Chain A
Amino acid sequence: MKLLRELIKKEFFHILRDRRTLIIIFGIPIVQIILFGYVITNEIKDAKIAIYDKSKDNITMKMTNKMLSSDYFKLVDIINSDREIEVRFREGKIKEVVVFQSGFAKKLEGEGTAFMQIIEDASDPNAARLLSNYTRAIVSDFIDEINPTVRIGRTGPIVPEVRMVYNPQMKGVFTFVPGVMALLLTLISAVMTALSITREKEFGTMEMLLVSPFRPFHIVLGKVIPYISISFINTVVILLISNLVFGLPVRGSIVLLLAEGLLFIITVLSLGILISTSTDSQLIAMMIAMVGLMMPTIVLSGFIYPIENMPFILQLLANLVAAKWFILIIRAIMFRGAGLTFIWKETLILMLMTFLFTALSIKKFRIRLQ
Chain B
Amino acid sequence: MRTIGFILQKEFLQIFRNRQMAPIIFFVPIIQMLILANAATFEMKNIKMAIVDHDISSTSRRLMSKFDGSRFFKVTKFSLSDKEAALYMKQGRVNVILTIPSGLERDIYLKNNPEVQISIDAVNQNSAGLAYGYILSIISEFNQDLRVRFGNIKPQRVKIIKTIASYWYNPKLEYQTFMVPGILVILVTLIGLFLSSMNIVREKEIGTIEQINVTPLKKHHFIVGKLVPFWIIALFDLAFGLTMGKIFFDIPIVGSIGLIFCVSSVYLLVVLGLGLFISTITHTQQQAIFVSFFFTIIFVLMSGLFTPVESMPVWAQYINRLNPVAYFIKIMRMVLLKGSGFLDIKWEFISLFIFGIFSIIMAVWRYRKRA
Contacts and interface: CB of A to CB of B under 8 A. Distances in A.
Interface of A: 18, 20-21, 24-25, 27-28, 31-32, 35-36, 38-48, 63, 89-92, 95, 108-109, 112-129, 132-133, 135-136, 139, 142-143, 146-147, 149-150, 152, 154-168, 170-172, 174-175, 187, 191-192, 195-196, 199, 203, 279, 281-284, 286-287, 290-291, 295-296, 299-300, 302, 304-306, 308-311, 314, 317, 328, 331-332, 335-338, 342
Nearest to A164: B122
The listed residue with most B CB atoms (<10 A of its CB), out of A20, A112, A281, is A20
Given A47-B310, A314-B39, 17 more contacts: A32-B301, A129-B173, A157-B147, A157-B152, A158-B113, A161-B117, A162-B118, A162-B119, A162-B136, A165-B122, A175-B124, A199-B286, A283-B199, A305-B40, A308-B44, A336-B89, A336-B92
29 contacts: A20-B281, A35-B302, A39-B312, A39-B313, A41-B311, A43-B311, A109-B159, A113-B161, A118-B164, A123-B178, A124-B178, A125-B167, A126-B308, A139-B163, A150-B158, A160-B136, A161-B116, A165-B89, A165-B119, A166-B122, A174-B122, A174-B124, A175-B123, A199-B284, A283-B202, A286-B289, A299-B39, A314-B35, A336-B90
B298 A112 contact: no
Nearest to B333: A123
Contacts of B298: 31, 35
Contact of A120 (B140, B168, B178, B291): B168
B27 A291 contact: yes
A89 B161 CA distance: 25
A150 B152 CA distance: 10
A186 to B, nearest CB: 12
A32 B297 contact: yes
Interface stretch (B126-134, B225-233, B350-358, B360-368): B126-134
A126 B175 contact: yes
A32 B135 CA distance: 33
Contacts of A120: 165-168
Contacts of B146: 157-158
B260 interface: no
Q: Nearest 4 A-B pairs (CB), nearest first?
A: A122-B167, A167-B122, A164-B122, A125-B173
B128 A305 contact: no
A338 B316 CA distance: 37
A296 B38 CA distance: 12
Contacts of A39: 301-302, 312-313, 316
Contacts of B173: 122, 125, 128-129
Given A119-B166, A123-B178, A157 B45 contact: no
Given A161-B115, A286-B194, A40 B306 contact: yes
Interface in B23-69: 24, 27-28, 31-32, 35-36, 38-48, 63
A83 to B, nearest CB: 14
Contact of A174 (B114, B123, B289, B312): B123
Interface string B281-319: 110111101110110011001100011101111001000
A117 B313 CA distance: 30
Contacts of B108: 157-158
A164 B128 contact: yes
Contact of A46 (B125, B167, B310): B310
Nearest to A342: B91
B140 to A, nearest CB: 5
Contacts of B128: 164, 167, 170
The listed residue with most B CB atoms (<10 A of its CB), out of A108, A135, A171, A295, is A295
B157 A112 contact: yes
Interface of B: 18, 20-21, 24, 27-28, 31-32, 35-36, 38-48, 63, 89-92, 104, 108, 111, 113-129, 132-133, 135-136, 139-140, 142-143, 146-147, 150, 152-154, 156-171, 173-175, 177-178, 190, 194-195, 198-199, 202, 206, 281-282, 284-287, 289-291, 293-294, 297-298, 301-302, 306-308, 310-313, 316, 330, 333-334, 337-341, 344-345
Contact of A157 (B48, B114, B286): B114
B301 A40 contact: yes
A187 B177 CA distance: 30
A125 B122 contact: no
B338 to A, nearest CB: 5
B163 A159 contact: no
Nearest to A46: B310
The listed residue with most A CB atoms (<10 A of its CB), out of B115, B126, B199, is B126
Contacts of A165: 89, 119-122
Contacts of A283: 18, 21, 195, 198-199, 202, 285
Given A117-B164, A120-B165, A122-B170, A192 B120 contact: no
Contacts of A284: 18, 20-21, 24
The listed residue with most A CB atoms (<10 A of its CB), out of B35, B146, B154, B195, is B35
A92 B334 contact: yes
A201 to B, nearest CB: 13
A118 B164 CA distance: 6
Contacts of A166: 121-123
A130 B124 CA distance: 18
